[in-house]
Structure 1
Amino acid sequence: MSGHKIALLPGDGIGSEVIDASLQVLDKAAQRFGFTLNYTRFDWSCDTYLRTGRMMPEDGIEQLRKSNSILLGAVGWPQKVPDAVSLHGLLLPIRKAFDLYVNARPHKLLAGVTGPLRAEAFDILCIRENTEGEYSGAGGRVHVGTPEEVAVETSVFTRRGVERILRYGFEQARKRSRRLASVTKSNAQKHSMVFWDEVTEQVARDYPDVSVTRYHIDAIAARFVMQPETLDVVVASNLFGDILTDIGAAIQGGLGFAASANVNPNGGVPSMFEPVHGSAPDIAGRGIANPLATIWSAALMLDHLGESAGAAAILEAMSRVTAKGNVKTPDQGGRATTSEVAAAVAAELS
């Protein structure tokens, strides 16, 4: 029997509620498919920052390093702590410390879910570079508070960083439809995005079986809305990927379905899996948050850990629950609680 050490980071707001709900499903999958999950909970949050001045302890990264994977609920509570503090105090340090350079997000309609588009079927895997680019944090401000104030934010693109995210995208495309869309803006950004295009062309030579199409970010944003069924694997920079995945979440029925994986494909460190809906302070503690994004993220985690049968079974169970349509949280027009939706998915696993 295989065993996996899982670090739980419930975080803020509804984070603890959706994490607890996902454990109902994970434990059922483990029981059915014969593996074990050993959880360690780390209650690091904005409240931790208010008490200690830090989002996590100084040795937080080393504590997490002992795990095989991390399952995160949500980070942030702007009314308590500025997002720039919470994000840079917990989420980004984990991504950078473990070099989780792949952010992969699936976008498709589950059975019975109605999105805002006329498109009835699409299956997009959006792969976002996760460690550099526009979110590198290089820059600064001078003459602050004066009429001469200047703010500079510098994007940093390295050949290593661009090439490895593109290669990951090509590998995923090879497993799927052999179609890849590379997102750029080289008509306006003549240094960074021309460089991105050049590296794309060079990497593509090693994948002659994969068809590559280059899209400007504005054009592919429109395509996500007008023709999502024409897209399959999409690879984008940190900022462009951030924008596109929010569009992807919208067209798949909302943030309640938006799952993500922060992965280091080389292994040896814990990858991190999380819903991207945020902490939703307005509904925190009410037990009505949609847990499906977290459950979907947990399935991505199992697949990464090699428990592919359990991962596939969770996705099938989710699809059966949404197809029936009788157990839905308020964001989907229902009255079910977070726990009731999780229980319905767990029941389908039986």
Structure 2
Amino acid sequence: MTRTYVIDSIPGDGIGVDVTDVAMQCVDALAERHGFTVQWRIRDWNSDLYRKTGRMMPVDGIEQLSDGDGIYLGAVGTPDVPDDVTLWGLLIPIRREFDQYINLRPMRLLSGVVGAMPGIEELDIVVVRENVEGEYSQIGGRFGSGTDGEFAVQESVFTRKGVARAARYAADLAAERDGRLVSATKSNGIIHTMPFWDEVVAETVKEVPGVVVDKVLIDALAARLVMKPTSVRTIVASNLFGDILSDLVAGVAGSIGIAPSANLNPERRYPSMFEPVHGSAPDIAGKGIANPVGALWAAAMMLDHLGEKDASKSLTSAFEAALADGIATSDLKGSATTAEYAAEVLSRLKEPAGPQVPEAIDAAPNRAHNPNRVRKSYSR
């Protein structure tokens, strides 16, 4: 019986449309080859919709997504719509309503890509970012607007459950790698939340045999990732720290355009969401030169999460083979357009399987579908 997956595709704004389109073409090619089908539900939820309706997605948008097997996002953002509107109107509600509490961001030096410094051929880092609380809180406000005494308050929220489940996920992942986990902190300066983070991480990691945790101050860790990036393998970090560190690592590896991201509900009670890390890049939108590697890598993570492990490996092998052959977009010092690079990847997907690339980071311990996943109705 043919396996069928329902995937909600949200191309979004700018280059998100370009990279999503080519990634969907590659997934469809893999589906035909590997015996499954993908039913794409295209959601035109973006800044254009906001200009027309005052919302980034419909009132029942979460409900529309709830019965799918996954969500594939391009990027959102335009210069004339504030970033907090686009982010809090689409991405963050999806993450929180579907309890996508793990943001998984792997990065390694890809074949054919020149990193930001020599000697990083062994670069292989995974950032496990707590994804639904921490510094990205709605608690707070601005007071005394327009006066000399105007001030803003932003509260961070760290719960024992939230920190522990992120730490446990990261520790289990570290156990499969080299047994070393680096925890990003700033407990010397942030007096309440960061010592609490340190305590809960340490308590949680003790429960995972063979894993040692090293807490490192965020400023020192940032410097270490630039000077000695291969000395780190697995990082667990709060929402803000994980966001920043994963982009830094992508820069060290050559370009933010290659970085993928998975927003996971590991228990699979809700659909998970996959996206490239780069933004909508309005300065190059519509020029056909966007780098689709991050989008393709995110699609490979999605396939792995769905249980299509062979298809995931095939896609990763194909985009790496194209890079290794010197085919790349301008951000990687190449001359290929988005469409030209995608065509090269598609041609390799039709070739006999070659040497296997490293296995994709498992998006959740249990690859099978969860038949008990919540099919929930939401009200606004």
Normalised by the size of structure 2, how large is the TM-score? 0.90
C-alpha distance in structure 1 between counterparts of 2:33 and 2:212, whole Å: 39
C-alpha distance in structure 1 between counterparts of 2:211 and 2:37, whole Å: 38
Q: Secondary structure at the match of 2:197?
A: helix
Superposition RMSD in Å: 1.0
How many residue pairs are counted as aligned between the two chains?
Answer: 348
In structure 1, the residue matched to 2:194 is 193
C-alpha distance in structure 2 between counterparts of 1:177 and 1:347, whole Å: 36
Structure with more strand by fraction: 1
In structure 2, the residue matched to 1:39 is 40
In structure 1, the residue matched to 2:165 is 164
Deviations 1:167-191 (A, max 9, x none): 1101111222222111111111121
Return structure 1 stretches of 4+ with deviation > 2 angstroms.
none
* 1:252 and 2:253 are equivalent in the alignment: yes
Return the offset for 1:138. Answer: 1.2
1:93 aligned partner, one-letter code = P
In structure 2, the residue matched to 1:114 is 114
Q: Is the 8 A contact 1:25 1:343 kept in 2?
A: no
Q: Is the 8 A contact 1:134 1:156 kept in 2?
A: yes
In structure 1, the residue matched to 2:229 is 228
C-alpha distance in structure 2 between counterparts of 1:240 and 1:137, whole Å: 17
In structure 2, the residue matched to 1:319 is 320
C-alpha distance in structure 2 between counterparts of 1:348 and 1:175, whole Å: 30
Tell which deviates more after alignment, 235-244 or 170-179.
Answer: 170-179
Deviations 1:227-273 (A, max 9, x none): 11111110000111111011011011111101100001010211000
In structure 2, the residue matched to 1:84 is 84
Tell which deviates more after alignment, 108-117 or 175-184.
Answer: 175-184
In structure 2, the residue matched to 1:276 is 277
Deviations 1:52-111 (A, max 9, x none): 11111100011111210000000111x221111111111111111101111111111101
Alignment of 1:295-314 (within 5 A): 295-314=296-315
Return the offset for 1:335. Answer: 2.1
2:269 aligned partner, one-letter code = G
In structure 1, the residue matched to 2:59 is 58
In structure 1, the residue matched to 2:343 is 343
Deviations 1:267-309 (A, max 9, x none): 0211000011111111111111111100000001011111111
C-alpha distance in structure 2 between counterparts of 1:268 and 1:245, whole Å: 26
2:264 aligned partner, one-letter code = V
In structure 2, the residue matched to 1:102 is 102
C-alpha distance in structure 1 between counterparts of 2:313 and 2:172, whole Å: 20
C-alpha distance in structure 1 between counterparts of 2:295 and 2:68, whole Å: 19
Unaligned 5+ segments in structure 1 are none
Normalised by the size of structure 1, how large is the TM-score? 0.97
Q: Is the 8 A contact 1:24 1:343 kept in 2?
A: no
C-alpha distance in structure 2 between counterparts of 1:268 and 1:54, whole Å: 26
C-alpha distance in structure 2 between counterparts of 1:168 and 1:238, whole Å: 15
C-alpha distance in structure 2 between counterparts of 1:315 and 1:299, whole Å: 6
C-alpha distance in structure 1 between counterparts of 2:189 and 2:82, whole Å: 32
In structure 2, the residue matched to 1:153 is 154
Deviations 1:151-205 (A, max 9, x none): 1111100001000000110111122222211111111112111111111111122
C-alpha distance in structure 1 between counterparts of 2:248 and 2:35, whole Å: 37
Q: Secondary structure at the match of 1:25?
A: helix
Tell which deviates more after alignment, 10-19 or 310-319.
Answer: 310-319
2:34 aligned partner, one-letter code = F
1:27 aligned partner, one-letter code = D
In structure 2, the residue matched to 1:11 is 12
C-alpha distance in structure 2 between counterparts of 1:259 and 1:302, whole Å: 13
In structure 2, the residue matched to 1:208 is 209
